[in-house]
Amino acid sequence: MAVVKLAADYAPEPCTGCRLCDIVCPSGAIRMVERKPVIAEDLCIGCGRCVDRCPEEIMWMKERAEPLKVTVTPEEAPAEEVLALLEKAGIDPTISVCVCTLTPASEVAGAVIKGAQNLEEVCAMTGLRSGCGIYCVAPALRLLEAAGRDMTPPKQHRWYPSALSLWDLDESVRARYPDAFIGEDQDAFDPEGRFHQTKEQQA
């Protein structure tokens, strides 16, 4: 769960309609209408990236009257479906995929099960990317991909469909980079062979 205390706001003049705020918004909260940004406050997760990006310096973060709690609860997504999606993506359900909001992987999977179609919707539903906006992205993309969502990258480089994982590397890679601890890490992080084939399973 993310507790969002701030929301973006801006002054219409002298906005030039450059769209940079829209492009960097991680949750789809900013849309351009007649070359001016329209901010959907209920979708704003308070990351402040638009304020930092604005070349005219006419945006700011304002305090919300009441903090917005952004979350997908266990009741909103069947546990067995959540676990199955995490298993398919090769993501341990117990880890936090976002170190800013401490959002667990199971909540992100829950957002996808609940119906999130793309990265922006996952962020709006969970608060993912409200902090650094970087480290949580790959697990979210991998869960979307595992759920069969359309991974065609959106316009203006909002995100690219990149979700490589340790589990994707095979023997040929291990042979090319023998000192990269690929097999060792695969065995250490997945001793039961849920996400990769252990040596025992291969035998």
Partner 1 sequence: MTATAALLPPAFMPSDYGPALRPHVSEQMDSFVSLPVRDLFPSFAPAITDGDEADRDKVRAETRAALAKVDMSRISADDTVNILASEHGFGLMGGWPYAEMIKTIREVVIERTGCRKVNLRLAIYRGFREADEVNHHFGFDEAFEGRVHGLGPFDQGVEVETAIGPMYLVKRAFDSTKFIHAYYDDPREMYFNRLLYKSFKSFCMSYARFETRSIYHSMFGNRSGSIIPRALFDSEFIQCRYAFSSVLCTTPVGVVGVDATTDLYAIDRRITRSHLETYGRMQRLFSEIKDCVAIWDGGRWGYYLHSGGLIFGTLLTNHSDSFDLDQPVVAGFMQVPGAPVNFSRNKSLRGIVVNQAWVGAGIPYVTMPFTTPMYIVGEEQAKLWREDSSNPMLMDRAKVVDSLQQGIAMACEKGQTDKLLVFDGSYGHLTCSQSLADHLLARAPEVDRVVGEQLLPKWLAQRGLS
Binding site for partner 1 (CB under 8 A): 2-6, 23-24, 46-49, 52-53, 61, 92, 95-97, 99-102, 130-139, 141-142, 157, 159-160, 162-166, 168-169, 173, 176-177, 179-182, 184-186, 188-192
Pick the closer one to partner 1 by CB: 115 or 185.
185
Contacts of 124 (CB under 8 A, 6+ apart): 27, 28, 29, 43, 45, 70
Calpha distance 203→201 (Å, rounded): 5
Pick the closer one to partner 1 by CB: 35 or 176.
176
Report residue 108: phi and psi, to 5°: -65, -45
Which of 192, 196, 194 lies closest to 183, judged by CA?
196
Pick the closer one to partner 1 by CB: 31 or 158.
158
Pick the closer one to partner 1 by CB: 72 or 137.
137
Pick the closer one to partner 1 by CB: 73 or 177.
177
| Residue 16 C-beta-side C-alpha neighbours within 13 Å | 6
The least distance separating partner 1 from the CB of residue 18, rounded to whole angstroms, comes to 13
The least distance separating partner 1 from the CB of residue 200, rounded to whole angstroms, comes to 16
Which of 30, 60, 29 lies closest to 42, judged by CA?
29
The least distance separating partner 1 from the CB of residue 176, rounded to whole angstroms, comes to 6
The least distance separating partner 1 from the CB of residue 123, rounded to whole angstroms, comes to 12
Q: Which secondary-structure segment (H or E) carries 169?
A: none
**Cis omega (within 30 of 0) for bond into 104:** no
